[in-house]
Amino acid sequence: MILEEVARLVKAALPKGRRQGVNVYILPRVLSTDELCAAEPWIRFVLAEEVTHRLWVAFVDEEPGVAWDHRSRLLLVDDEIAEVLIDLSLHFSPSFLAEMQPLL
């Protein structure tokens, strides 16, 4: 997959009523499951044991400009099958947010 294809999948995964007023970011490179778990150790408890895919990562800040502890989402897109594997609700930003590029 290329970044533009991932961006289309991420946009399509956003509920129609929740696209306005959110900030969406995407990591401009694919990660192995091990790389993702090294950056975000807690995610190992969420991923199924058989998930050994290369993943694209998107982050949706649903309340930009507000102090943390508000709703946001982390979307994991499988590079091989080109679909959103996981859509997680978070209340914090991912550790690699500084590396991510704005999408919307």
- What single string gives the DSSP state of each residue in 17-78? GGSTT-EEEE-SS-EEHHHHHHH-GGGGGTS-TT---EEEEEEEESSTTSPSSS-EEEEEEE
pLDDT in tens, the chain (104 residues): 888 888 888 888 887 766 677 888 999 999 888 888 888 888 888 777 656 678 899 998 887 877 777 788 889 898 888 888 888 888 888 888 889 999 86
* The pLDDT value given to residue 26: 93
How long a stretch of residues is the chain? 104
End-to-end CA distance of the chain: 19
